[in-house]
Structure formats: structure tokens, C-alpha cells
Chain A
Amino acid sequence: MATNVGPIYDPPSLAHPFGTDRLGDDILSRTMSAATLDVSITVAVVLLSVTVGTVWGSVAGFFGSWFDYLTMRILELLNAFPSLLLAMLVIAVAGPGLLNVVFVVALLPLPDYVRLARAEVRSKKNWQFAEAAKLVGRRPVGVLFAHLVPNSLRPLLTYASVNASQVAATVGALGFLGLGIQPGSAEWGSMISRGQDAILSGQWWVAGFPGLMIFLLAAAFHLISDAIADSRDQGGSW
């Protein structure tokens, strides 16, 4: 981690464009190194959630019967808990740490992905191209994963890009609450948390710039989702 030690609580200047914190560390470089972590956690969480949710939901929607029934009951159960509270509880019990954060945050949007994938597959499983695939020689699992799932991905990916901005904010919030990766590692949420006292004493830049980054990351994912929605309107292959 490149920490460029300078004077403590130095306001933004040419030498330290984001200023320095109470240890004299350069906030720009801390923010930048935190970016890698925050972005990778967000991407990992979304990929994990969308993958598990798609497989789970599409299998439930395609095969139905008891597995589908069980799925719906589990979703209802998960829905009954306020999501962030659930995440805080689990991390408080399981302890902070990179993997715990990824798994817990991935659990939050999972019901949405399962429900979306299930609905998409259910609406398409009697389409003729699924019947045609059977005649081509596909087994049911092949019909599902070679034909129905690829044709169901668009709404899932559109939702994923919207969801990514929420995930970025949740990861930040957990860091802020001290429930992030581990105290001390450069991560936007925990940087805000450590800079919050400084706001009252006038050093807004300590918490302000990491906060801005969370906002920008969330905004970036929103732009991506808009772009996907646009390409859909124009009949793009997604």
C-alpha cells in the first residue's frame, strides 16, 4: 500500500489532491487502493449471486414439483428479514473477513435473482424452441441450460447492474459499521467511518472523498444498466 506520509489533516492541495488524514496518509492513494478492493468485492458478490440465483431459480422453474415448492418457501422466509439487518447479524456472529462479507452480501439479492430466473424459465419452457430442442436430442437439463437459460439472461443481467450499485453501497455501509473486511484495511466504508469525527472538526475531505467514490461506483453501475436497457430497446441480442 503506497502511503505517502505528509502533514496530518492537510486539506486538498496539489501535493495531496484529496488531502491527508490524521496519520498524515495521502487520502487519494488510500482511496485508490481501496477501489480495487471495493470494486472486486462488489463484482464478486454480484457474480456469485446472479450465478447461484440463475441456476437455482431456473431449475425450480423448469422442473417444478417439490423442489419448486421448497424454493418458494425459502424465498418467503428470506423475504421476512430486513436485508441489511440480516447481513449485520450474520457478520456479527460469523465475524468479519473478506469471504464472510462476500457470502453474506450475496445472500441479500439472491431471492430476487431466484425469482426472476424462475419466472423467465417458467414463461418460456413451453415455447416451441424448447420442444424443438428436445427433438434435436437434448435431455431436459440440456434444454434448460443450452436454450432456456441463455434466453432468460437479459432481464437477469439488467437487474444485476442495478443491483451492483446497491451492493457497492451495502459493502460501504458494512465497512462503515466496522463489519467489513477487517479493521484497518483500506476500504471506502471503513475510511468514512474513521473520518466521521473529522467532519465535525471541519476536515470534510477525510470521509468525503471515499463517500464520493461509493457514490460514483454506484452511479457507474447504474449507467451500465441503462446502457443494457437501451440496447434491449434497440433489439440488441441481449
Chain B
Amino acid sequence: MSAVASEHEHTDDHHDHGPAKGWMRWIVTTNHKDIGSMYLIFALIMFFVGGTMALIIRAELFEPGMQFVEPQFFNSMTTMHALVMVFGAVMPAFVGFANWMIPMMIGAPDMALPRMNNMSFWMLVAGILMLASTLFMEGGAPASGWTLYPPLVLQTGDALPFAVFSVHLLGISSIMGAINIIATILNMRAPKMSLMQMPLFVWTWLITGFLLIAIMPVFAGAVTMLLTDRFFETSFFDAAGGGDPVLYQHIFWFFGHPEVYVMILPTFGIASTIIPVFARKPLFGYSSMVYATASIAFLSFIVWAHHMFTVGMPISGELFFMYATMIIAVPTGVKIFNWTATMWKGAMTFEAPMLFSIAFVVLFTLGGFTGLMMSIAPVDFQYHDTYFIVAHFHYTLVPASVFILMAGGYFWIPKWTGKMYDERLARLHFWLSAISVNILFFPQHFLGLAGMPRRIPDYATQFSDWNMVSSIGAFIFGFSQLMFVYIVIKTIKGKDCADATDEVWEDAAKHGLEWTLPSPVPYHTFATPPEKIPTEHF
């Protein structure tokens, strides 16, 4: 199958191509499982890099007054934290799951474009390294927020062109990944599997793939205009030359709003995969889940200016973007109701993947509520650019996307390694995370409402108490995540871990093709497409 593996002699006794030997395996591999693992490990490392930056921020905000860093560096930290988390941790983690699981879920032997797959991974690494290198440059890393608004971003020191090129690299990597995923889903499905029989994780990634192809070029274009404004005398965003700084915001958010859905749609997909297994029931409303996902994706392209209610739009613009944003609550609500209905009258058990998934449904709903509140344009004139916003999007990202990434890790790692993870520790990890994430982010609602702007390194003394609480939560949350690393390593090593059965979870084989494969899953799977498609999920 893969060019690399075939150059080696068969030394193992079962008739299968094993991976290449030695470390070169990881550089040249075209195997979707290897590449999936690399994406996931890379994402986990970046999660800790971005997390360290977050802890620097929270340490500085522990008390009023400046204790540890200069304001400029603080701004670099908020900017780099966001960029690393979005482009280095959350997105690659979902691509990692896509690589591992999509071929196994649709009965395909590998991704459609395995060499390009390798290239998109290494381009991601190059992009992130280039971004990280700006930390050591004259003038510091970008410090204008992850939104990179001009004119401020044009005041960045030597780092600006490197940040721009790293966005280009990350964009190309994402687009290649998206093309690959779409091609795999549309062309490599087992012949017996129709589109409306695909697991929801596959569906959500199909839609996410199209989102990525549509938006990454837009972002790349926007930052390229920043580059030419700075170095080639153009004035796209400079009023003095006939340009418009707000134009950048429109372009950025045309990318940015769908981008937040790039991070949440696969989250929905994994949750929709996990909840039925542990409720021992089929997913409620399979087809309405698919349509809701598609509607959200469509709507995500026409709501961008809800990030810009205060830039001085004409009233018709304010109203249009308010209505469009409010409508998103409808398909989002449908999803939440469907998950609840899936649990209803099931026979639930609460292993770590299910715990994280339930916490996701509850806490994501909270993030949705604040989203709805902010969609009311006149009220957003108060909320905008405060900690209320910070609380909103962290609820939709941390106890939503990140929790589901953890859930997916626990859910599939027995399949990958053939070993059960330590359930007792995993539950402890869950409870620590679920409690501390709320200590961390819930008080930020209060701070925002009380008037604390976001992206400030120091604050008025009446904000002290909740900031201190939030920082304490942050440190507990941050250190709790080390448990995840410990549990994963322990499972991979496999000592003192029970063997996983092929099905892993009770009756899981009714829910998805991946559970019909042996555990640990062989290096190559579905060389011939499966005959029988599990139909429990629709």
C-alpha cells in the first residue's frame, strides 16, 4: 500500500505491511494512522505551549498592579496564546481525529491523498515554528490580538512578515487537509455506505472541509494586504491613502466567524458519536442533526459583522447582522435538544468519554446563551470587548471543543492501543477539569458585566476578587491537564492496563465500523471495503 512500507522486508509473522523502522517512519509516513498520531501529539504539545502563555496571563491578572511582565509582552502573550490554541492545538487536533477515524469510519484503507497528507502535517509544523520564532525577534511577537487589526498590527516590529507568512503556511496546510478529507469522504466510502449513513463525525468534517476551503484564502488575503500596506506602499487599510481600517475587520470576520465553526462542528460530530454509545440508544434525529450542521455552516457566512457592532455600521447593517446571528440559535438549539433526547430513556453509563460529553452539552449551551445575549446588537454595545466576550468564547472553546477532544481521546485510545486507559484516573481528570474550568471562566461573566475590558494587563481594584478566583481556577485547570498526558502515556505503554476488546464499549459495533476492527487496530485496515454497514446511528 504505502510506498515506504513496501521497501521493507516483511519481518512480522502476520501478513501485513508494518510501519517503516526507525525515526524516518515519522518523517516520510503516508499512513493515515501515523499522521493522525502526529497531529494529535503535536496538538497536545501546542495545548501546553498555549496553556503556559495563558497561565502567564492569569498570573499577571491574579492581583491588580503589574507584577511579572511588561504590558507589551502581556499583549504578545494574549495574541500568541490565541493563535497557538486556534491554529496549533484545536484545529490540528480535529485534523488528527479526522485522519485516524474517518477512513476507519467509512471503511476506507487510507486517506485519498496520502502524500499530500504528510505534507500538510509538516507544513503545519513549519508554520507554527515560524510563528513561535517571532517571540525572539526585535520588537517582540505580534501584540495586536489574534484578530491582527490594523493600524495597530502595522506597528509590530520585525515579527510582522513572519507572522504573515506563518498564516500563509498554516492556511495552505489547512486547505490541503480539507481537500484531502473531502476527497476521502466523497470517493473512498465503502460502496455500501450512503451519505446519509455516514457517522456524524464524518458529516461534520465534510462540512467543515468546505468551510476551510472557503475561508482560509480570505484570511491569507487579508494578512497579505497587511504585508503590502507595510512594505509596498499600498493603503488598503490606511485612510490617509484612501483605504479603510474597518475593511480589514470585515474581511477578517468573514474568515473569523466561520473559523469558530471550524472548531465547533467536528466537536458536535464527536459528541454525536459518543453520546449514543453510552446511552445505548441510536442518535436521536440523525437527519435533523445533518441539516442543522449544514444550516449553521451556511449561516456562519452571513453573521460576521456581529463582531463589529460598535465600528459605526449603518443601522440597516446593525439590524441585519443582529437578526442573522439570532437565527443561528435555532439550529444550535435543535442540536442540543437532540442530544438531550438521545440520552432520554437510554441506559446510560458514565465512563470518562461520556462524562466529558455531558459536560460539553451543558457548558456549550451556556456559551450559546451568552452568544444569544450578545447577538442583541444594542446590548452588545455594553458587552463588546469586555470579559463577558472572553467568557462566552471560552465556554464555547474550552469546555466544548477541548472537552470533546479529551472525550474523543479516551473514547478511541483503547482502539488505537489495544489497552484500556485508567478509568479511575480519567474520571478524576474529568472532575478536576469540569470544576476548575467553571472556577476559571464563570467569574469572567461578572467581570465583563461589571465593566472590565478584555486585553488589559492590569485593572481597577473593584475587579480584584473575581480575577483572583479566575486565576486560581486557571492554575488548577492547567495542572489538571498533566493528568491527561500521564494517562495517555500509561495507556500507550500498556503496563498494568487491561486489554481492550475489539468492540471496546458495550455494543459499540452497532454504532460504527471502527469497532468491527481488532484492537489494537492493525497498521492497515479495510484493504477490502466492509460488506455490512452498522445502522444504529441513523
Real binding pair: no
Residues of B bordering A, CB below 8 Å: none
